[in-house]
Chain A
Amino acid sequence: MTPNFVGRLQTRIFVLAVIGVPVVLVLGFFLPVRTAPGASSSEIRADVWEAGLFTLLVVAVVGCVLWEPIYHGLQQYRWEKDWPTLFGLLTGINEGILAYLIVREIGPTPEFAKVEAGGFSLLFALVWLATWLWLNGPMRVVFIRWRFRGGRIV
């Protein structure tokens, strides 16, 4: 990928909204995590949705404000001015860790402080992978100019 800064922001927001949200919604039905002792599947689902959607919001905001500027800065040291595919995948690790800490700190309800690392990691990894596959795959079929405009959608 060879993004420019505006493209990074647009792509991040788009993919979290259009891919991230549906994936979280679907995972609510399947994610094999225990969110509380004896929780029913509908309670788990609600928890997954609550945590998942809030995390998407955190990833969007923190990404635009902190991570993308860092990535863009690092990219300036590369001759090709590209952002290697591997980086796009591995940055899920640093973003996931920070997102986890933030979600536990500033989650809107007291339950957020008790979000389990295991379940969170699984949810985060699956959503990250889905968005990464989308960006490296079908995104260019939906928007044919996107890859020529540094990731800008509009």
Chain B
Amino acid sequence: MVSDDTITIGGVDPTADAGTGPKGSGDLTDQLVDTDIWSDELVAGAGIPVVEAPLVTVGGGIGSFVLVDYLRIAGLDTSHVRSLGIQERPWQTYQYLTEVSQIPAAERLRSDSSGCPGNLWGFPSYALREAWREKTFAPLWNVLTEPILTDYWTPRAGTAFADMEREAGRIGYWDTVVKGQVRMVRRRHGGGYFTILTPPRGAAQTKRVAYRSRHVHLAVGYPGLRFLPDLQGYRQKHRDYRRVVNAYEPHEQVYEQLRRNPGIVVVRGGGIVASRVLQRLIDDRDRHGAQTTIIHLFRTYIDSSHGPSLFMRRKGADGWAFQGFNWPKGTWGGQLRDQLEKLEGDARKQLLGVMGGTNTPHRKLWINQLDRGRREGFYRVYIGEVQDVAPGPDNTVVTRIKQRDGSQVEVPADFIVDATGLEADIKEHRVLADVLDHSGAGRNVMGRLEVERNFEVRGTRSEPGRMFASGSATLGGPYAGVDSFLGLQYAALQITDELARLGFCRRIGVARSLSQWWRWARNRRV
């Protein structure tokens, strides 16, 4: 199931909770693993202690946190929800990933001013708060004139973390957290679900603990890193993990070495991660005198506005496709959301395909840096398909490229940075693979978890319980912006509204919203 060379995120070993044990030992049994729907007796027979929790959210990351935020504001008591995961803070993995991909806390994310994971109303927006805090009009001017006179304003990474920290304390999120690795979620005979947790060593009497809940929410994030096949092949064959790196793993040695000695780095990818890596490389040249030559490899080169019709044209230049955020803005709550929501199957896949494709935000700083790089010669571009990556003389790695005109070129470099993305097959995630195999879940048009418009995982109903999912695992469903702060909030709102319909919590109407917002403003506990 989980391959040996899956790169783990944050250094967590996914195989630590593997295996089964003898009956009655408090570990999973082969029978449990093989049975799709569990009875209370079956679980008890394995000696696994059962803990009741009306709703369990699996992941313990930002997706779980945002759902708990909505549920608390909808009147749910902290004792009614458990957030299971290994992270110390819900934003821990997110912070790790942004840091290694060159967005430290003081740098800006690619997220709208009104996407505030610690404030479900989006008011006051991050821009407003930054203007107030730093006593400056600049953020206000930016959000007033974006994207006409200015690029879209985005908050600093640290702003989002501080926002979530404040809200977590306010809603009593820490009371809902249970640390441990979730192994699987299965349906229960008679309704509801079992979630098997592997607590940290020594934290419990038995190896596993079972949470029995009416409802379950999956928000497990990314299964792992993804490498371009040729780079994956190179790393496995030559066991070289130093010179060929993924932008989403720690790779500070690349920058350190380039600062010490003049070198060549090949960057692959045309999205925001590539933009951030390029900025880091050029900043190091400017601030630390690094004599780096940057070779940027594009497989697809966008040099102008592109799109299927006059009403669907996205800007582009110099190889990049420009888009404010990872999806067109209207997909979060505008006409594109309406449009996508109505589609299924091929039609949905087609619209997602048109709106998707690698893209990066238009930022004047980046445009100017690359213009300067082209002029001064330290930034060069190749366009084509990579044929081969192999070690070369003098400790280099050589990429052989077949260019657009058919000619071949060999590009030696000291480092190759794969900045092409994080997605991996959801089957590489233990919990998602299990849900696909044993709980009736299916794949959507993009191969990820198929969900309904209210984010219920299609096929997994265990009346009176529901299984929901949000976040990147649901991309390809009826909502595009799932992998964003605002998208996680949208999903949480749909789920909370559905749970309110089922009588699980209150509906957040006008009165509740106003009084809860007022509490938020005064930092009063929910």
Q: Which residues of A contact B (CB under 8 A)?
A: 2-5, 75-77, 79-82, 84-87, 89, 137-138, 140-145, 147-150
Contact = CB atoms under 8 A, between A and B. Distances in A.
A4 B337 CA distance: 10
A141 B337 contact: no
Nearest to A83: B334
B330 interface: yes
28 contacts: A2-B332, A2-B335, A4-B334, A4-B335, A5-B335, A77-B311, A79-B307, A79-B315, A79-B323, A80-B147, A81-B329, A81-B334, A81-B335, A82-B329, A85-B145, A86-B146, A86-B148, A140-B114, A141-B517, A143-B510, A143-B513, A144-B121, A144-B508, A148-B332, A148-B333, A148-B337, A148-B493, A150-B337
**Ranked 10 nearest A-B pairs via Cβ:** A2-B334, A81-B330, A148-B333, A80-B329, A82-B329, A4-B335, A2-B330, A141-B517, A79-B314, A141-B121
Nearest to B510: A142
Interface string B113-145: 010000011111000000000000000000111
A3 B333 CA distance: 8
Contacts of B337: 2, 148, 150
B123 A81 contact: no
B150 to A, nearest CB: 10
A149 B330 contact: no
Nearest to A139: B123
Contacts of A3: 334-335
A34 to B, nearest CB: 33
A86 B145 contact: yes
A142 B114 CA distance: 15
Nearest to A76: B311
A121 to B, nearest CB: 21
Nearest to B512: A144
B485 to A, nearest CB: 13
Given A80-B147, A84-B146, 18 more contacts: A79-B307, A80-B323, A80-B329, A81-B336, A82-B330, A85-B146, A86-B144, A138-B123, A141-B514, A142-B510, A143-B510, A143-B513, A144-B120, A147-B333, A148-B333, A148-B490, A150-B335, A150-B337
A72 to B, nearest CB: 9
Contacts of A137: 123-124
B310 interface: yes
B338 A79 contact: no
Contacts of B146: 84-86
Interface of B: 114, 120-124, 143-149, 307, 310-315, 323-324, 328-330, 332-338, 490, 493, 508, 510, 513-514, 517
A86 B122 CA distance: 19
Contacts of B122: 140, 147
Contacts of A5: 335
B148 A84 contact: yes
Chain A's interface: helix, strand, loop or mixed, by majority?
loop
A137 B521 CA distance: 14
Contacts of A140: 114, 121-123
B513 A142 contact: yes
B515 to A, nearest CB: 11
Nearest to B149: A86
A129 to B, nearest CB: 12
Given A81-B328, A81-B334, A82-B334, A147 B114 contact: yes
B355 to A, nearest CB: 9
Nearest to A144: B513
Contacts of B336: 2, 81
Contacts of B338: 4, 150
A2, A77, A79, A142, most chain B CB atoms within 10 A: A79
B147 A84 contact: yes
A84 B324 CA distance: 12
Given A86-B144, A144-B120, A144-B508, A77 B334 contact: no
A81 B114 CA distance: 17
Contacts of A80: 147, 323-324, 328-330
Contacts of B333: 2, 147-150
A81 B123 CA distance: 22
B171 to A, nearest CB: 16
A5 B338 CA distance: 11
Nearest to B521: A141
Contacts of B335: 2-5, 75, 81, 150
A149 B144 CA distance: 22
